Amino acid sequence: MRSRLLPSPAPGHADAHRIYSEHQPWLLQRLQARLQHRQDAEDLTAETFVQLLTQPDLASIREPRAFLTTLARRLLFHFWRRRDLEQAYLDAVRQIGDTHAIGADEQAMLTEALVRIDRALDGLSATARKAFLFSQLDGLTYAQIATRLNISVMTVRRHVARGIACCCAVAP
């Protein structure tokens, strides 16, 4: 298994390097203004350039800063979404009263799993997610789900279908 992200002898490497050295300080500064921790800003800046490397035809990019902003914006969104999810998970653990101490490794794996499922179900509302999970995890009938969520059976059906389609879209 070669590295997942990068074409190994990257043909656009020189271009990426040029764009990086010209615009990295600018991007870092922009991200730093949005993030509390310098480390996070540095990581996201680096991630942005990782993404840049995967773009075909780097030489043709005319507005590197606009391009970098687009990439960085998406990463920043994912970064914040991950934090929201982590927080919601910790809130849930507290609420459930789970007192098992879990290690940092395990926590990281759970967060990864959470992010992965959340991405898979991207675009599904909270209600749609509930309907989908009631069906797939609890085996409730659509009529039961409809009653619980106070929506129609047709809507439940649509949510479940959409959820399944989402899972199929991300699975390898």
Q: Is residue 65 involved in binding other proteins (CB under 8 A)?
A: yes
Q: Is residue 62 involved in binding other proteins (CB under 8 A)?
A: no
CB 81, min distance to other proteins, A? 6
Of the residues 18, 46, 61, 148, which one makes contact with other proteins according to CB under 8 A: 46
Residues 6+ apart with CB under 8 A from 16: 10, 49, 52, 53, 58
Q: How far apart are CA 156 and CA 141, in angstroms?
A: 10
Token pair, residue 149, equals 């969520």
Closest CA to 170 of 134, 124, 125, 118: 118
Angle at 47 between CA 126 and CA 55, to 5 degrees: 95
Strands (DSSP E) along 50-136, which ranges?
Answer: none
CB 44, min distance to other proteins, A? 9
Of the residues 12, 19, 23, 30, which one makes contact with other proteins according to CB under 8 A: 30
Pick the closer one to other proteins by CB: 55 or 69: 69
Q: Which DSSP state fits 171?
A: -
Q: Are the C-beta atoms of residues 55 and 10 closer than 8 Å to each other? A: no
Residues numbered 93-152 forming contacts with other proteins, rule: CB under 8 A: 93, 95-96, 98-102, 104-105, 108-110, 112-114, 116-118, 120-121, 123, 125-126, 129-130, 133, 135-137, 139-144
CB 26, min distance to other proteins, A? 10
Q: Is residue 53 involved in binding other proteins (CB under 8 A)?
A: yes
Q: Is residue 18 involved in binding other proteins (CB under 8 A)?
A: no
